[in-house]
Amino acid sequence: MLTETLRLLFRRDLDRVANELLLYRNETAIWQVEKDIANSAGNLILHLIGNLKTYIGAELGGVAYTRHRELEFSQKNVDRQELLAKLAETRDIVDEALRALRPDVLAGEYPLLVFEHKTSTEYMLVHLACHLAYHLGQINYHRRLIDPTQV
């Protein structure tokens, strides 16, 4: 079933984000920006946390969460261990929400208008998995650019 596949993908990729975070040798590098790169890895991680807690945790899982999107990109120097804890919490929230998702909800209309037109919940979840993978790639690239001795 799609929800089981999505559970595996979200867990896998959120764990990969956490691993990328651990690979930075210097914690301050997590927050660096270089040249035309607008977002640090830390801000991308905060963005992913806010995005997933909002669109999956709150909307589908019923978890109380108020998003502060502007802080996702402006907040700086959050401790690595705090980011790791927030990632783990987000992974668990997403996993539980997807585990409990009924097939009729998956096939139905997503409760929020996120794009120009309404979408199905299934579409929204696939979009969110792709969004996570996209930013995971950016975080990996950021780490290798900022700390080129790491692979």
CA distances from 90 to 2, 29, 55, 66, 113 (A): 20, 23, 11, 14, 22
Please provide the average confidence, as pLDDT, over all residues in the chain: 95
Tell whether the model's pLDDT for residue 119 goes beyond 90: yes
Kindly report the backbone phi and psi dihedral angles of residue 109, in degrees, each rounded to the nearest multiple of 5, phi listed first: -75, 135
Interval 24-32 mean pLDDT:
94
Interval 103-130 mean pLDDT:
96
Query: What pLDDT is attached to residue 91?
Result: 98
Tell whether the model's pLDDT for residue 69 goes beyond 70: yes
**What SS3 string covers the chain?**
CHHHHHHHHHHHHHHHHHHHHHHCCCHHHHHCCCCCCCCCHHHHHHHHHHHHHHHHHHCCCCCCCCCCHHHHHHCCCCCHHHHHHHHHHHHHHHHHHHHCCCHHHHHCECCCCCCCCCCEHHHHHHHHHHHHHHHHHHHHHHHHHHCCCCC
Query: What pLDDT is attached to residue 1?
Result: 84
Nearest partner of 135 among 4, 21, 27, judged by Cα: 21
Query: What pLDDT is attached to residue 78?
Result: 97
Q: How far is Cα 72 from Cα 79, in angstroms, rounded to an integer?
A: 14
Tell whether the model's pLDDT for residue 123 goes beyond 70: yes
Interval 68-88 mean pLDDT:
96
Structure pTM? 0.94
Query: What pLDDT is attached to residue 151?
Result: 53
Which domains are seen in the chain, by residue range?
2-146 (1.20.120.450)
Query: What pLDDT is attached to residue 150?
Result: 54
Query: What pLDDT is attached to residue 120?
Result: 97
Tell whether the model's pLDDT for residue 149 goes beyond 80: no
